[in-house]
Structure 1
């Protein structure tokens, strides 16, 4: 049975450093058991800050990055190199600092707007095909070892928003998203099929504006209302929070 743990840190700065340390330790533990290791990165303020913290942690040199494959839970459908793309921010925060230790072929960004990729659906189709290359027979995506997700104040994860039709997409690992309430309106997202196929899902959230959505998700609210409630790993689900997001600040 999958377990769920809620870990609360005193503030966002500690949350970032602790999550970075947790990720590095998990990678080292996993590499003692199997190769390759598949990790899904997230964007957002805390997600990118966590990657920057990994870059500055000397423990990163103990990881065999040639045995780590990196993916993204969602992406803004923008041209390659655009500063608002999660991939661009991740490269600036961490990937570039790893240099040749992380082979280019181990990095699997969501296809960007450009060339023959003119719609989020086309990008999702290509991303799904790449995911399928590393999936077990009968699966549409790898059983990700760690899948990190941020969460919005509305309870969305990846680019799966409350009441949005993308929540109900099944049978594929990735989907195009139109009409996102958060700009840009066009995006590509992993589906719940892919998210729930991960061995571990980590939902990382900070700030008092997240507290209501955290409480809703942890209480088992309908996924259509609070999508984060549907984010769970097959082996373990971690909620990594600061005190404000957990609603445990003394003045909250």
Structure 2
């Protein structure tokens, strides 16, 4: 993908005329990231958000290049509800994506629902899941995902990291909990910014005109400090924005032509 308009660590913005073109190109990008990761270490570690993101991954379902048996999937954040609850990110990802592809169930890592009444235990348990996958293999202080896929809310939040919340300044924990989400449900766990920012590739996916004002604020005025603007990968990680023209209509930040 071209980076000619940007310094190496700056976000790369690609905008598509419509959602179908975004879905197709996002699938091609994920397939390439998967191939490079498997070639390098025999597996592909991914963290997924909920919201509208699972629907925008539909281009992966019939892609013969996707080696689902090599995927290890975690969640960027999760609502503290049973896995079959309508608010569960895991449920959305399973219904829209994982139920339609041959991914081994044991390689998808939801929260431990026996711990829903103890948020500290729940977040510690999820951190231990990450430690099992990453701690022995990476010398870094934080896990290094091959790919983290993020969405963005109208208020500029990403994961369950909301404007003005104490968790924006969390520097040590891998997984944190909150009981006071401004968006229901109030109880959630979330990866922290240090974990997100250590990923090899981070992709925001934002489509639709309702995202236009927020996307302009994040890309054109990042110092204003909206949570999505605090996603700044540690070198050599790279941040991409996959958007459509309706979402970027007000953005001055330079676009990059998509090419693999």
Q: Please give the range of the TM-score, normalised by the shorter of the 2 chains.
A: 0.7 to 0.9
Residue 245 of structure 1 corresponds to which residue in structure 2?
A: 247
1:81 has 2:84 as partner: yes
Mapped pair 1:122 → 2:121: yes
- 1:138, distance to aligned residue in structure 2 (A): 4.7
Deviation at 1:107, TM superposition (A): 1.1
Task: List, as ranges, runs of 4+ consecutive aligned residues in structure 1 with deviation greater than 6 Å.
Answer: none
TM-score (norm 1): 0.87
C-alpha distance in structure 1 between counterparts of 2:98 and 2:247, whole Å = 28
Matched, 1:41 2:48: yes
The match for 2:226 is 226
1:139, distance to aligned residue in structure 2 (A): 2.2
1:213 corresponds to 2:214: yes
Query: Is structure 2 residue 75 aligned with structure 1 residue 72?
Result: yes
TM-score after normalising by structure 2: 0.84
Q: CA RMSD in A?
A: 2.0
Superposed CA offset, 1:78-105 (max 9, x none): 0121122111111111212223xx2223
Task: Note the C-alpha offset of 1:3.
Answer: 4.4
After superposition, residues 126-205 of structure 1 pair within 5 angstroms as 126-135=125-134, 136-141=138-143, 143-205=144-206
Q: Is the 8 Å Cα contact of residues 131 and 140 (structure 1) preserved in structure 2? A: no
Deviation at 1:233, TM superposition (A): 2.8
Which residue number in structure 1 is paired with residue 105 of structure 2? Answer: 104
Unpaired segments of 5 or more residues in structure 2? 1-7, 252-260
SS state of the match for residue 222, structure 2?
coil
Query: Secondary structure of the equivalent of 1:90?
Result: helix
- Map Cα deviations across residues 84-136 of structure 1 (whole Å, 9 max, x no partner): 2111111111212223xx22231112333xx3431332221111111112222
> In the alignment, which residue of structure 2 is the partner of 1:51?
57
**How many angstroms apart in 1 are the aligned matches of 2:215 and 2:244?**
11
Q: Return the alpha-carbon distance in structure 1 between the equivalents of residues 65 and 211 of structure 2.
A: 34
* Whole-Å separation in 1 of the counterparts to 2:160 and 2:55: 19
Q: Distance in 2 between matches of 1:35 and 1:118?
A: 37
Q: Conserved in 1, the CA contact under 8 Å of 2:23 and 2:58? A: no
